[in-house]
Structure 1
Amino acid sequence: MARHAHLTKSEPLQRPKVGRTIMQGDTIQILDAIARVDDDRTPTRAELKRAIQHLAKAGKLSNMNKFVEASAELLQAHRLDPHNADTLLVLGNNLRHAGNVQAAIHVMEKALKAAGEDLELLYGIGLLAQDLGMLDAAERMYAMVIQRNPDDPRGHTALAAVKRGKGEYDLAIDTLKFAIEQSQQDPTLWQALGVTVAEARGADHARPFFEESLRLNPDYDLAWSNMGHAYSAEGRFAESLPFLEKSVALRPDDPDTRFSYASSLLGVGELEKGWAEYEWRLDRRRKDSVVFVHDLPRWQGEDISDKTILICDEQGIGDAIIFASAYQDVIERAGHVIIECDRRLVTWFQRSFPEATVHRHVTFRSNAKIHRHYGWLREDGVPQPDLFIPSGSIFQLVRGDVASFARNGAYLKPDPERVAFWRSRFDAIGDGPKIGICWSGGFITPIRAKGYMSLMDFQPFFDLQQKGGHFVNCMYKDAREDCRRLADEKGVILHDWDDIDRRDQLDEAAAYTAALDYMVSISSSPVAIAGAMQIPAITLLHKHDRFHFGAGVEPWFPTTDIFVADRPDAWPAVPCAAARRRAGERLELD
């Protein structure tokens, strides 16, 4: 029977086309290319020689971090020599680094069938499962790696990383301590212990483990990077910089290190250099990077007075609101501006930027990455863009120093009729200021939870009710149980309404917020909503934020005060006490 779906020697894969397919994350086309390989065919000696040539090219490209091009070469090698499981292993790793995790998993599984439970394959599949957030599956793979070779430190460090991702810090530390007892001279184990202890107990507790790793290998760039990141993650940006600078010098092309470096530079107020380094957030090798599926050239700051520019949306709702503070700058420079945003922001943004075209983004999640697609640019009535810029990149062009943020006024405009509606509702509560509060976010991870509070942590503010204030719920998730407990245990009423969805109806949430007199919140989208409309607010922070640029004030929102815990054990009591005094002054209730 003829194998119509299989490639023959006269049907080579088209490398440029395959490269574009990998770059765009098109898993189906990659899998189709692999499926068309005739696995039963015996390669000729000439084909084996050509396969080796492709493997050599792939090795050079991979060493240059050109993973897309390397993957295309490896696909060629696999077509020529389909029985080589090692080629599939290397292809899987390169696809993973290129950002196509789903295709990489398929390749690894194919290799696993060809080679059996090979140690490298088990480890590779574990990494891919971890990238996709499949932590239980990754844990099983790493346990098998340890079982087959307990002396391989990668199994222990990877298993500890999974435990850490689950918030199981003690188990992660125990895993690494056991491995270190068997191999005390391995720097990778010591630095992994440093990462885990830093996340669980703080940078100062972790520093001895990083230092031991560096004693064993002074040029271990990952240890330098992670020690710097440990301080940066606590908002101790100045302390982090020497470690990150050393890591950048050792491995200048690592995007995660460069992103941490950017955060610390911004955190100490070095905006010009910090914004330049912040571009590394877009590197496709970073897990959190966004893929923009279009071929538009990037705006680099040149004259655009006769051009149409597309501002591409990057991150979550809070960041989208913050980044919108620079959109008017672009509108004033461009012939026309197209603003891409979450569907929940379209009405609010269109009202706020009437000169612009505002369109919802079309987003797919593939290979654990967000992909923005732009078929909507072909719709009738949509102007055709000449250039694009990611929303977070505008600041490199228009906010070169902290003083340049002074122009930020109330740049987002709520619906005045809906503001009047909510103000009427709030007035019905009674006389006195209406104070919105938010104490937690909607997406909770072990890292994010460090900056969240319980409703009972707002105890210092509760006496404002006796002084004439009224509390209004600004959380965007179900808080009914918290509200009931607050009323039962403290006698404090947190007012809420069932006919508004503050997560999904953001234009309505903006009107709701604009009707308040004041807001007290953790760092979350509700306080960004308030700040963008210049509603007086307080942000409570468990650490310093890079976007405050070391200034000790909130540069984005002039009517917002920030109160920061200066050490972990001060959170949240100390900033809450200080913020309560400020709230009493501003509300004239003390």
Structure 2
Amino acid sequence: MTTPTCAAEPDARLLERIDAVVARLNRARLLGAQGRLAEAAQELAALVTQHPQLAEAWRALALLLRSLRHPEAEGCLRRALQDTPADATLAAELGLLLLEAGRVAEAGAAMATALEAGAEGSILRLILGTALAGQRQHGQAADQFRGAVALAPGMAAAWAGLGSALEALDRLDAAAAALRRALRLNPQDAAVRTALGAILRTLGRDGDAELELRHALALATNQAAAYANLGALLLHRKDDAAAELSLDRALALDPALAEAQLNRGILHLTRGDLPAGWRSYGWRFAARRNAVPHDDLPLWAGEPLAGRCIVVTAEQGVGDELMFASALPDLIAMAGRVIVECDARLVSLFTRSFPQATVRPRGSPAGDAELRIPAGSLPQIVRDRLSAFPTRPSWLVPDPDRVVVWGRRLAALGPGLRVGIAWRSGLMTTERRAAYTRLDQWGPLAAVPGLRLVNLQYDDCAAELDEAERRFGVPIHRWPDLDLKDDFEGTAALTANLDLVIAPAVSSAELAGALGGPVWRFGHRDWTQLGTGVRPWYPSMRLFGPRAGESMGDVLARMAIEITRFAPA
């Protein structure tokens, strides 16, 4: 049976058209392989316009737009998935795109589709964990990394990702263990060694940390992060010259490395070089990945403020707010109008203390403010030298009526030196733990005759107080109707009636100093001393630091000896 010639001609024309379409598709792929992505996208867009049924062209266009971060990538991915709903790659890319946009629930559904479609589970979980970590969803990221290493225990990148996520969750021992697993699989990974060194430094294991960081630099001398972490370690060790050298090397490799810039600023401030220190201290927002409040307003750089309205934005913890507030009177004297934003718990206290300013909670709308200045940036302008620190004894004013009430309550305790005590921060990360004490270490002070100990520790410490009273045989006075954590007005009135406050670097000590009361602050040297043996911010504060070989418990014992000289007064 012969084939009719009239049928052969249409078949030939069809094959020609198919060949033409395939040629255009191959041309687009070649353009993409050559890096001519925009031309490849144009070719594919024209192809799907003429042949909307061509699934392979839709798939290629969708993946190309996704790689270009094109705004139409999502729509194109969804269109391609209509033709091939079981395409694991398309589903995974759509999931990542949605995750980057913060649409986590939709992203999870797309990723589930990818897994069902047969996507490699460990790789997909690694990708998803990495994306979640980029979104700072560290708990979910850790879950994905755990899933990846369960499927592929030999995947070093997944162990490294798990270590990073656990570090962000402050589970540092587990993070170090995960990073060590990654290094057993890939010992030459300098970045992972750098991360492990940073964690070991935070854990206080400086010797091990230094070994890892120097090993990382031996593997790759271009590791700016390793130099930065080594510089921070040496700064903590008080080896300022070596710290400066390491930080300078980090910044030579990466001038925009915020952590190195900040630590170099802290080094300058520690030495008393205030102009250089304050300049680099401005990197703190980037280094700590904190949002900058009211960043749509111009930043005040010290120009005249007559007739203008400036907002002082709150930052960091309450203790920092209290310290930086010492500069507010200087600003108020310079500006037409000052708006002060602070922790909501400080609003009434700041309103009374700075009556010429408008005080409102942090996070408030900018309103009619024309300029902004973060509270921690004020010293760069008004405290650029030590002589610029005024000798005023205080800058906060407690509620006079509540001061009277608390005066009566403390008088009821009987004669003796009324000493407020606190022993740790409310934010006890692993890195901060070494700077504080346990209440059971306060025995030498509790044994000093004539002291009336008053609790200023503002977290949940009732059980510790009960145990300390049994151990020491003396009362530690506290009142159930005073919330030391949230009632700063009541705490300020109580503190104003104390003869002395003994505390580490916590808001209780900062509040006492801001009120002008005597404070004995114990702890290591820090940058807020600005190269001096005191803290210039607080004229009424005295510092007690550990000597060579001393623990914080030894410092407390030394303070007990000192207070016996002070008590009779």
Q: Does 1:420 align with 2:412?
A: no
* Residue number in structure 1 paired with 2:394: 410
* Residue number in structure 1 paired with 2:478: 496
2: CA distance, partners of 1:81 / 1:523: 54
* Residue number in structure 1 paired with 2:328: 327
CA contact (8 A) 1:165 1:446 kept: no
Structure 1 residue 114, shift from structure 2 partner: 5.5
* Residue number in structure 2 paired with 1:19: none
Percent of residue pairs identical: 27
Moved more, 181-190 or 286-295: 286-295
1:205 to 205, 208, 213: 208
1:534 to 505, 508, 516: 516
1:321-344 CA deviation, whole Å, 9 max, x = no partner?
111111111101101111111221
Q: Measured at CA, do residues 152 and 52 of structure 1 come closer, stay the same or move farther in structure 2, by a change above 3 Å?
A: same
Moved more, 148-157 or 471-480: 148-157
Aligned-partner residue type, residue 557 of structure 1? Y
2: CA distance, partners of 1:272 / 1:343: 32
2: CA distance, partners of 1:88 / 1:182: 31
1:138-194 CA deviation, whole Å, 9 max, x = no partner?
332222333455554332223234445566555444433343333322223322332
2: CA distance, partners of 1:581 / 1:547: 26
Aligned-partner residue type, residue 111 of structure 2? L
Structure 1 residue 266, shift from structure 2 partner: 2.3
1:421-468 CA deviation, whole Å, 9 max, x = no partner?
21121111111220000012323322232223211111221222x2x1
* Residue number in structure 1 paired with 2:22: none
2: CA distance, partners of 1:163 / 1:236: 30
1: CA distance, partners of 2:139 / 2:296: 38
Structure 1 residue 300, shift from structure 2 partner: 1.4
2: CA distance, partners of 1:525 / 1:328: 20
Q: Measured at CA, do residues 521 and 216 of structure 1 come closer, stay the same or move farther in structure 2, by a change above 3 Å?
A: same
Q: Does 1:75 align with 2:75?
A: no
CA contact (8 A) 1:294 1:374 kept: no
- Where structure 1 has 5 or more consecutive residues not aligned to the other structure, the ranges are 1-39, 57-72, 362-371, 378-383
2: CA distance, partners of 1:131 / 1:55: 18
2: CA distance, partners of 1:266 / 1:154: 39
Q: Does 1:560 align with 2:541?
A: yes
3-state SS of the aligned residue for 1:429? coil
CA contact (8 A) 1:238 1:268 kept: no
Aligned-partner residue type, residue 557 of structure 2? A
1: CA distance, partners of 2:98 / 2:386: 45
* Residue number in structure 2 paired with 1:516: 498
2: CA distance, partners of 1:455 / 1:279: 36
2: CA distance, partners of 1:257 / 1:111: 39
2:554 to 574, 578, 583: 574
CA contact (8 A) 2:96 2:128 kept: no
The within-5 A match list for 1:367-406 is: 372-374=363-365, 377=367, 384-406=368-390
2: CA distance, partners of 1:88 / 1:545: 48
* Residue number in structure 2 paired with 1:271: 274
- Where structure 2 has 5 or more consecutive residues not aligned to the other structure, the ranges are 1-51, 81-89
Moved more, 219-228 or 438-447: 438-447
3-state SS of the aligned residue for 1:409? coil
The within-5 A match list for 1:72-471 is: 73-82=69-78, 84=90, 91=97, 95=100, 103=102, 105=104, 108-109=107-108, 112-113=111-112, 115-116=114-115, 119=122, 121-127=124-130, 136-164=139-167, 169-233=172-236, 237-283=240-286, 288-293=289-294, 295-361=296-362, 372-374=363-365, 377=367, 384-464=368-448, 466=449, 468-471=450-453
* Residue number in structure 2 paired with 1:549: 530
2: CA distance, partners of 1:91 / 1:258: 33
Structure 1 residue 234, shift from structure 2 partner: 5.5
Q: Measured at CA, do residues 147 and 485 of structure 1 come closer, stay the same or move farther in structure 2, by a change above 3 Å?
A: closer
CA contact (8 A) 1:51 1:76 kept: no
Q: Measured at CA, do residues 532 and 127 of structure 1 come closer, stay the same or move farther in structure 2, by a change above 3 Å?
A: farther
Moved more, 252-261 or 493-502: 252-261
Aligned-partner residue type, residue 190 of structure 2? P
3-state SS of the aligned residue for 1:413? coil
1: CA distance, partners of 2:205 / 2:240: 14
Structure 1 residue 233, shift from structure 2 partner: 4.9
1: CA distance, partners of 2:249 / 2:561: 43
2: CA distance, partners of 1:250 / 1:48: 39
Structure 1 residue 216, shift from structure 2 partner: 0.8
* Residue number in structure 2 paired with 1:486: 468
2: CA distance, partners of 1:240 / 1:508: 43
Structure 1 residue 230, shift from structure 2 partner: 2.8
2: CA distance, partners of 1:336 / 1:77: 49
RMSD over aligned CA atoms reads 3.2
Structure 1 residue 120, shift from structure 2 partner: 5.7
CA contact (8 A) 1:195 1:226 kept: yes
CA contact (8 A) 2:294 2:372 kept: no
CA contact (8 A) 1:298 1:388 kept: yes
What is the TM-score normalised by the length of structure 1?
Answer: 0.77
Structure 1 residue 576, shift from structure 2 partner: 1.7
Structure 1 residue 357, shift from structure 2 partner: 1.0
Structure 1 residue 374, shift from structure 2 partner: 0.6
* Residue number in structure 2 paired with 1:62: none
CA contact (8 A) 1:305 1:333 kept: yes
Q: Measured at CA, do residues 478 and 176 of structure 1 come closer, stay the same or move farther in structure 2, by a change above 3 Å?
A: closer
2: CA distance, partners of 1:445 / 1:354: 36
Structure 1 residue 248, shift from structure 2 partner: 1.6
Q: Does 1:505 align with 2:487?
A: yes
Count residues in correspondence. Answer: 504
2: CA distance, partners of 1:46 / 1:111: 18
What is the TM-score normalised by the length of structure 2?
Answer: 0.79
3-state SS of the aligned residue for 1:176? helix
Structure with the greater alpha carbon radius of gyration: 2
